[in-house]
Amino acid sequence: MRKKSINKYLDNLEKHLSEENPVLLDATKGFRAIDEIASEVGLLNEGESTASQIPWWPLISILGTFSAGKSTFINHYLGVKSQRTGNQAVDEKFSVLSFSKTDEMRTLPGIALDADPRFPFYQISKEIDEVADGEGQRINAYLQLKTCPSDRLRGKILIDSPGFDADSQRTSTLRITRHIINISDLVLVLFDARHPEPGAMQDTLHHLVEETIQRSDSEKFLYILNQIDTTAREDNPEDVVAAWQRALAEKGLTAGRFYCIYSPDAAVPIEDENRRQRFESKRDQDLSEIHDRMQQVEIERAYRILNALEKTTQELEDKAIPLIKQHLSEWKKKVRVVDIFLLALLSTLTLGLGISSGFLQGSIESLIQGNPILFGAGAGLFLILFLTGHFAARKHYAAKIAQKLSDHSDELIFLDHLDKAFLKNTTPSRIFTGNRVIGWNKKALRSVEELLEDSKELVQKLNDTFTDPSGKVVTRDK
């Protein structure tokens, strides 16, 4: 996206937020300020914005294994059969469901998402390419955009994932899944009660449970045992639930809600009246709580964006800049070792040719002081050799360390051009600048401190739209 395009995107976003949420309008100004600093440092390319890296629409993702009932759950929630259902894998793509004003439902290719910054998969093809070179060109094999007229989709986006335990395209699917988890306001993780042996799904449990419970936003995950009606004919259906709870506890999930549901539209008949009522009561209670959370994502979205503003600012100051400084120091140490070796070799050769080291030193000092006439021919030759070796070492180690830094980009959420920012600081003109980072100065540091304070004030403003510690009644416009 070129600079003109990103400015247009931000302008349109601000126009929309001026009517919908003035607090988030102020947040866009904060992202513009971060963009300016990050661009100077080299952490953003021209035409990129940290604001475009987060979804501004409320986002709910549905994850789970094959045949866990994800599509059936979505269809019931929307009141529209937008997703195909079945016991086998019916779709191996991530489906992004968005509201449509028309009754006609359409399925659009993945490029519709990859090329549109309003959706949370903008330029995701580049991330897929990092996993498998050339796979980004097959974006349509991973993603699709579905339009749906359900009122429950107004102002929000739903993502239906393919079966998590797919073997084909697994690495890329995991990459997209992690991306989805990072940007979602709510993540529903569904398991299939018809397969009561969770021990056989250790890999899936690892990625969907063990990797999520340590996150700072772990409260946005709801773990759901779906199709629980299929266990009603068991002698003791509670054993199935207990087995799943033990499996999740083994992965560290010992707190939080564990839901048991099934779709009223595709339920297995339960002949025993008492058991049927007990199952329906539990289902209705849990479905009500889940649907309530899904309706609250607009509020959670606002806090997520303000949190993203604060996290981006902290990521710049606490992670990106220290990493660049650390690797600049490492780079200079490696080059210095080469310089010492070259100087030792230069001194040895100089003495071997009968040129005194004092003469060589004096000649080099004369050249530095601007007196090239006094610079000896022999000393000039060896200085050329020294500089050739010096700059070759600079380039070699800069490339190696930049590659290592590109691997560190996975540690950052919003600023992923660490390698380019590092290389910006390794040009010949940067010989005598220590470990100072281009674009990171007192003015930038002051701006970052102001942004951190502003982000806290924006949270307080958002709080004021819902509550008032003084006890006054807060009314919200619908």
Query: Mean pLDDT across the stretch 48-74?
Result: 84
- Residue 352's pLDDT band (cuts 50, 70, 90): low
Reduced DSSP (H G I as helix, E B as strand, rest coil) percent helix, strand, coil of the chain, to 5: 60, 10, 30
Place 368 in a pLDDT band, splitting at 50, 70 and 90: very low
Q: What is the pLDDT of residue 1?
A: 47
Question: Rounded to 5 degrees, what are φ and ψ at 64?
Answer: 160, 180
pLDDT value of position 374: 44
Q: Are strands 221-226 and 258-260 parallel, antiparallel or unpaired?
A: parallel
> How confident is the model over 220-242, as a mean pLDDT?
79
Average pLDDT over residues 346-370: 56
Q: Which two tokens stand for residue 77?
A: 């929630």
Adjacency order of strands within the sheet including 94-99: 107-109, 143-148, 94-99, 157-160, 59-64, 186-192, 221-226, 258-260
Among the ranges 16-25, 27-36, 431-440, which has the highest mean pLDDT value? Answer: 27-36
CB 282 within 8 A of CB 276: no
Token representation of residue 120: 């949370």
pLDDT winner (highest mean) among 172-186, 299-313, 361-375: 299-313
Give residue 450's pLDDT band: very low, low, confident or very high (50, 70, 90): very high
| DSSP conformation letters of 65-128 | -TTSSHHHHHHHHHTS--S---SS----SEEEEEE-SSS---EEETHHHHT-TTSTTTTHHHHH
Give the integer Cα–Cα distance in Å for 234 and 218: 33
Q: Per-residue DSSP letters for 307-336?
A: HHHHHHHHIIIIIIHHHHHHHHHHHHHHHH
**Token digits of residue 189:** 């993780």
Cβ-proximal residues to 185 (8 Å cutoff; 6+ apart), any chain: 58, 59, 60, 220, 297, 300, 301, 304
Q: What is the mean pLDDT of residues 272-283?
A: 87
The CA distance from 398 to 330, in Å, is 10
> Phi and psi dihedrals of 202, rounded to 5?
-60, -40
Q: Which residue has the higher pLDDT, 157 or 474?
A: 157
Quick one: pLDDT at residue 373?
46
pLDDT tens for 208-227 read: 676 667 777 778 888 888 88
The secondary structure of 331-369 as a DSSP string is HHHHHHHHHHHHHHHHHHHHHHTT--HHHHHHHHHHHHT
Query: In the chain, what percentage of residues exceed pLDDT 90?
Result: 14
Alpha helices in 353-465 (DSSP H): 357-368, 377-408, 418-424, 442-464
Instruction: Please give the residue that has the higher pLDDT: either 204 or 405.
Output: 405
Question: Which residues have a Cβ under 8 Å from the Cβ of 90 and sit 6 or more positions away?
Answer: 71, 84
pLDDT at 27 over 80: yes
Q: Going by DSSP bridges, is the β-strand pair 258-260/59-64 parallel, antiparallel, or unpaired?
A: unpaired
Predicted TM-score of the model (pTM): 0.70
Q: What is the mean pLDDT of the chain?
A: 78
pLDDT at residue 442 in the model: 92
pLDDT at 367: 47
Residue in 416, 323, 381 with CA at minimum distance from that of residue 127:
416
How far apart, in whole angstroms, are the C-alpha atoms of residue 42 and residue 130? 20
- Stated as kind and residue range, the H or E segment containing 145 is strand 143-148
The structural domains of the chain, ordered by start, are 1-53+302-478 (no CATH), 57-295 (3.40.50.300)
Closest to 331 in 3D by CA, of 215, 425, 455: 425
Who has greater pLDDT, 388 or 202? 388
How confident is the model over 309-325, as pLDDT tens digits?
999 999 999 989 999 99
What pLDDT does 359 receive?
52
* Averaged pLDDT, 286-292: 93
**Is pLDDT at 80 greater than 60 in this prediction?**
yes
H or E stretch including 247? helix 238-250
- 154 in Cβ contact with 99 (< 8 Å): yes
- What pLDDT score does 434 carry? 62
Beta bridge partners of residue 443, listed in sequence order: none
- 373-385 tens-digit pLDDT: 444 555 566 677 7
At residue 164, the pLDDT reads 61
So what's the pLDDT on residue 255? 60
